[in-house]
Amino acid sequence: MGLLDGKKALVMGLLNEHSVAWGISNALHAEGADLGFTYFGETVERRVRPLAERLNAKLIEPCDVQSDEQIDTLMERVRETYGSLDIIVHSVAFANRDEISGKPYLETSRAGFQLALDVSAYSLTAVVKAAQNLLNPGASIITMTYYGSQQVAPNYNVMGVAKAALEASVRYLAHDLGPRNIRINAISAGPLRTAAAMGIAGFRTMYKNFADVAPLRRNITIEDVGKTALWLCSDLASGVTGEIIYVDGGFRNVAVALGD
Ligand code: 0WE
């Protein structure tokens, strides 16, 4: 008996075994969910296929979230394979590296802003819009965000603006989907050493500082995120929608860090 027996889940944004989407996928799989995955590009496909197969995925499909056509094709394949959906995990973001590593936010280009907002914020709305007729009553959607949406995280720059738009989208989508008993929430995770964090200027220092300051005095793991995702996707969170749930060891509540 699993918490998610018979539930069909679509996971977007898995890259490797360090991915937050991998932590979430494992937690959902362990409770009986039937998982399908999307990837972007052939390089990623080669990494994702073996991982998806480890979790007995029935569906492994390409999806460039900047293309409405590809999103529609994906949902057609989901309909053929599963008939309907109970869970969507959106773990997708992108900004040009040079816009989030070392230069001031005020140098952000129009093209860089549009790219970051399109891939990292609008994609959630685009996916939910295309999936709306597949979603069963009781369905749960989750997306990933970061505290740089609320407070300035140096270098996070245009990604912070994109995450603010993503979080607002969660509230509006929750309002639209609530009458059909479909819930949508975001998980705001502390810094994780995933591919998305590699090569980010100052990340190592930030990661170390986080564990010194956070009430739990440690970093967050993809397993921590997976367990919260499992709760949000299960009936245990039946009354929770439109929320930003922090999986950050309490970090964001600390105004002044004195250390031990
Ligand atoms: O949301 C993120 C990072 C997302 C991300 C990462 C990359 C790296 C490779 C988006 N686009 C790209 N583009 C690339 O070319 N995080 C929460 C991780 C992160 O990124 C930061 C952070 C943290 C934390 C960037 C600056 C400061 C802090």
Mean pLDDT for the stretch of residues 64-77: 98
The pLDDT tens digits for 171-215 are: 999 999 999 999 999 999 999 999 999 888 889 999 999 999 999
The pLDDT tens digits for 212-251 are: 999 999 999 999 999 999 999 999 999 999 999 999 999 9
Residue 67 has pLDDT above 80, yes or no: yes
121 secondary structure, DSSP code: I
The pLDDT tens digits for 11-35 are: 999 999 999 999 999 999 999 999 9
Atom 17 (ligand 1) nearest CA: 146
Does the C-beta of 160 come closer than 6 Å to ligand 1? Answer: no
CB 75, CB 134: distance < 8 Å: yes
The atom number, within ligand 1, closest to the CA of 194 reads: 18
Higher-pLDDT residue of 93, 260: 93
Does the C-beta of 131 come closer than 6 Å to ligand 1? Answer: no
The pLDDT value given to residue 202: 87
Q: Please, what is the average pLDDT of the chain?
A: 97
Task: Quickly tell me which residue has 């977007």 as its tokens.
Answer: 12
Please state which architecture CATH assigns to domain 8-253: 3-Layer(aba) Sandwich (3.40)
179 secondary structure, DSSP code: G
The atom number, within ligand 1, closest to the CA of 191 reads: 24
Atom 26 (ligand 1) nearest CA: 156
Catalytic-residue membership of 146:
yes
Catalytic-residue membership of 246:
no
> Global pTM?
0.98
Domain boundaries defined on the chain: 8-253
Number of helices and strands in the chain (H, E): 8, 7
The pLDDT value given to residue 198: 86
13, 12, 10, 17: which is closest to 194 by C-alpha? 17
Task: Quickly tell me which residue has 């930003």 as its tokens.
Answer: 244
206, burial (CB in 10 Å: exposed 0-12, middle 13-18, buried 19+) = middle
